[in-house]
Structure 1
Amino acid sequence: DYDRASSLAGTGFSPGKLAKCSKSVQAISRKICRQPEKNLATNSCTHVNRSVWEVRHFFADQIEHESAIQRKLLVLGDGACGKTSLLSVFTKGYFPQVYEPTVFENYVHDIWIDNQQIELSLWDTAGQEEFDRLRTLSYPDTHVIMLCFAVDNRDSLDNIGSKWTNELLEYCPGVKIVVVALKCDLREDIIAVRNMQRQGERPVTYEEGLAVARSIRASRYLECSAKHNRGVREAFEQAARVSIHAKANGSTIDQISGCVIL
Structure 2
Amino acid sequence: MEGIIKKNVVIIGDGYVGKTSILNSIKQQKFEEQIPNLYDDFEYTQTIGDKQFKVKFIDTAGQEEFAMIRAFSYKDADLFLLCFAVDDRVSFENMETKWISDLKDYSDVPIILLGTKSDLRRTNRNCINKDEIVKFQKKINALFYAECSAKTLSGIDDLKKRILKFFSKERSCTIQ
User: If the length of structure 1 is used for normalisation, what is the TM-score?
Assistant: 0.62
Segments of structure 2 that go 5 or more residues without pairing to the other structure are none
Distance 2:172 2:96 in 1: 25
Equivalent position SS for 2:55: strand
Q: Distance in 2 between matches of 1:114 and 1:221?
A: 25
Query: How far, CA to CA, are the matches of 1:115 and 1:187 in structure 2?
Result: 39
Cα separation, 2, equivalents of 1:253 and 1:141: 21
Q: Deviations over 1:181-220 (max 9, x none)?
A: 110110102xxx27xxxxxxx1112222211111100011
Gaps of 5+ in 1: 1-63, 195-201, 247-251
Other-structure match for 2:72: 137
Of 133, 149, 161, 1:209 maps to 133
Q: Which residue is equivalent to 1:173? A: 107
Cα pair distance change 1:220/1:107, threshold 3 Å: same
Residue among 71, 74, 87 paired with 2:7:
71
CA distance in 1, matches of 2:113, 2:48: 20
On the 8 A contact 1:76/1:146 being kept in 2, the answer is yes
1:234 is aligned to 158
- Indicate conservation of the 8 Å contact 1:78/1:156, yes or no: yes
Partner AA of 1:223 in structure 2: E
Q: CA deviation at 1:239?
A: 2.0
CA contact (8 A) 1:176 1:242 kept: no
Higher relative contact order (CA 8 A, sep 6+): 2
Between the two proteins, the alignment pairs up a number of residues equal to: 176
- 1:133 & 1:212 partners in 2: Cα distance? 26
Q: Does 1:122 align with 2:41?
A: no
Structure 2 residue 155 is the aligned partner of structure 1 residue 254: no
C-alpha distance in 2, partners of 1:115/1:84?
A: 31
CA drift of 1:83 comes to 0.8
Match status 1:90 vs 2:26: yes
Distance 2:143 2:133 in 1: 13
- Contact 1:72 1:143 (8 Å CA) reproduced: yes
C-alpha distance in structure 1 between counterparts of 2:96 and 2:174, whole Å: 21
In 1: Cα distance, 2:48 partner to 2:122 partner? 32
RMSD: 2.0
- Cα pair 1:176 1:243 within 8 Å, conserved: no
Question: Residue 105 in 1 paired to residue 29 in 2?
Answer: no
Q: Residue type matched to 2:54 in 1?
A: E
* Percent identity of equivalent pairs: 32
Q: How far apart are residue 245 of structure 1 and its match? A: 5.2
- 1:176: how far off? 0.5
What SS class does the counterpart of residue 235 from structure 1 fall into? helix
- Offset at 1:253? 6.5
Contact between 2:10 and 2:79, CA under 8 Å: does it hold in 1? Answer: yes
Secondary structure in 2 aligned to 1:80?
Answer: coil
SS where residue 219 of structure 1 aligns?
coil
Distance change in 2, residues 1:181/1:124 (3 Å): same
1:109 and 1:96 mapped to 2: Cα distance?
20
Q: Which protein has the bigger helix share? A: 1
